[in-house]
Amino acid sequence: MDRNERICVLGAGAAGISAATYLREAGFTRVTVLEKEERVGGKCRTHREGELNWELGAILATTDYATTLELMRRAGMEPWRKPRASRPPETAFEGGGVWDMARVFPGWVARSELPAALAQIARYQLLAPRWKAAFAPGHAGVPAELAAPVSTWIARHRMETLGKLWSIPYVSFGYGFYDEVPAAYALKYFDPGVTRALALKRKFFNWKEGVQTLWERLAAPLEVRTGMELGRVRRGASVEVSGAERRSGAPFRLEFDRLVVACPWDEVLAVSDASDDELALASRIRHTDYRVRLVRTEGMRVPSGFAPGRFSRAGLGLPMIWDERNRGTGTVAFYVLGDGSTPGSTIDANVEAEVLRLGGRVVETMARADWKYFPHVGPEDYAGGWYGRFEGLQGRNRTFVTGEIASFSTVERSARYSRDLVRRFFA
Ligand SMILES: Cc1cc2nc3c(=O)[nH]c(=O)nc-3n(C[C@H](O)[C@H](O)[C@H](O)COP(=O)(O)OP(=O)(O)OC[C@H]3O[C@@H](n4cnc5c(N)ncnc54)[C@H](O)[C@@H]3O)c2cc1C
């Protein structure tokens, strides 16, 4: 491919900045990233106040995040583990269905369940080669059995205790419920490395500077234009992208040779000359409604905890998990799944009620983030070959699609799919 081609990357999140970084590395010099918001990072969003920072999006990685770690090295960042709580874990609210984060084991997972948990983790590692395709970038060649809901896969392979362990990061981190999401996504999340990390806590890490910093540093040498509101995309002999700059309202019209969509594909198609194939596929994409509230509190007895009794539809609108990133500050991030229409005021009220229940009071809500999250398809579409058709469209109409829908909603999955996309199509 001609290295002089003009390439437009839409979206400056993990997928877009990774794609642009690898395109530049492959020798393409005319790469422009257009970002709707005034900042880069997308769902890697860090709230900063003075010396401190908090995450409103991605929080955790594991030492198996190979692409992310490689990009972190380029950005001069290292894995960081936040200090453990100095006080003994709170137990007073276990009866009320709330567990201190330090009490996953022994606690919510009892000592008596340990042999089953370890046996299932070991069996999963042994069986993993048969699901190998699910651990690779994208969904090509994933075995048909993984189209079934996670709950079906768990029952078939008698992995109930492992499923219980997985459910903390799976359900409370916004990936929906086990009975409605194809198992392929869960396996993509909990590949053998991440599953080992559940047993070996030291494998998890955070980003001391905040994860948004990673993408800001990588964006610095790239041509990234923020605050670009997309109006229209037309693809023919070239790709014409037009819209208006948010700050000034000034219109823009830019011409490229290729388009890499690293933002919600369905939203881009809505303003494009989309083909029937593209529209038919995009219309099947589902999302979850994931809300984060960063709240300054006083006196909370369980400042980092989770409520597994709410890991079901009955828990919609209620905090499922919460975390005090900077120990002893009382500033806590609460994570809530909405039903798509839950008013923001209801989420705020439920968070406040939780703080009260845990013996504290809300001083102030410092930040709110409402995410249209985890684009995915349901079991029937997955079984019906949705991803085969999706991959078949790559490159058609001068367009490539990367990011969450192409693989799975984690930092590593978005970054890795972008790296793979560049290797496959821009060699
Ligand atoms: C609360 C929360 C917690 C999470 N925790 C973790 C975690 O612990 N570990 C982990 O690995 N992952 C986690 N994730 C997931 C991870 O953050 C995302 O999957 C990943 O960052 C997605 O990157 P992306 O670039 O594919 O998409 P996005 O981050 O959504 O980036 C898309 C970008 O495109 C921009 N955009 C949208 N529309 C347009 C348009 N029309 N034109 C131009 N630009 C546009 C957006 O503003 C955005 O910047 C979490 C996510 C959330 C929300």
Tell me, what's the pLDDT at 93? 66
Q: Residue 259 is inside which H or E element, if any?
A: strand 258-261
Least confident interval from 71-85, 320-334, 385-399:
71-85
Nearest atom within ligand 1 for CA of residue 404: 26
- The pick from 265, 325, 409 for probing ligand 1's pocket by mutation, whose C-beta has the most ligand atoms within 8 angstroms, reads 409
**How far does Cα 280 stand from its chain's mean position?**
24
Q: Is the pLDDT of residue 415 over 90?
A: yes
Mean pLDDT of 318-326: 96
CATH topology of domain 7-45+210-285+377-425: FAD/NAD(P)-binding domain (3.50.50)
For ligand 1, residues with CB inside 6 Å are: 10-16, 34-37, 42-44, 57-61, 173, 230, 262-264, 267-268, 290, 292, 371, 373, 403-404, 409-412, 414
* pLDDT tens, position by position, 240-292: 999 999 999 999 999 999 999 999 999 999 999 999 999 999 999 999 999 99
**CB atoms closer than 10 angstroms to residue 36:** 17
- The pick from 43, 171, 222, 401 for probing ligand 1's pocket by mutation, whose C-beta has the most ligand atoms within 8 angstroms, reads 43
Q: How far is the CA of 388 from the centre of ligand 1 (A)?
A: 24
**How far does Cα 143 stand from its chain's mean position?**
23
Tell me, what's the pLDDT at 203? 87
Nearest atom within ligand 1 for CA of residue 43: 29
Nearest atom within ligand 1 for CA of residue 271: 41
Tell me, what's the pLDDT at 95? 64
DSSP at 105 = I
pTM, to two decimals: 0.97
Tell me the pLDDT band of 94, cut-offs 50, 70 and 90: low
> Which listed CATH number (1.10.1040.10, 3.10.450.750, 3.30.1330.40, 1.10.405.20) goes with 102-205?
1.10.405.20
Tell me, what's the pLDDT at 408? 98
294 and 333 in contact (C-beta within 8 Å)? yes
* pLDDT tens, position by position, 332-363: 999 999 999 999 999 999 999 999 999 999 99
In CATH terms, are 7-45+210-285+377-425 and 102-205 the same topology? no
Domain boundaries, the chain: 7-45+210-285+377-425, 102-205
Q: How far is the CA of 87 from the centre of ligand 1 (A)?
A: 34
The Cα angle at residue 381 between residues 375 and 385, in degrees rounded to 5:
110
DSSP at 121 = H
Query: Of all protein residues, whose CA lies closest to atom 46 belonging to ligand 1?
Result: 42
Query: Of all protein residues, whose CA lies closest to atom 16 belonging to ligand 1?
Result: 410
302 and 93 in contact (C-beta within 8 Å)? yes
Pick from 108, 117, 125: which is nearest to 160 by CA? 117
Higher per-residue pLDDT: 202 or 211? 211
Higher per-residue pLDDT: 199 or 230? 230
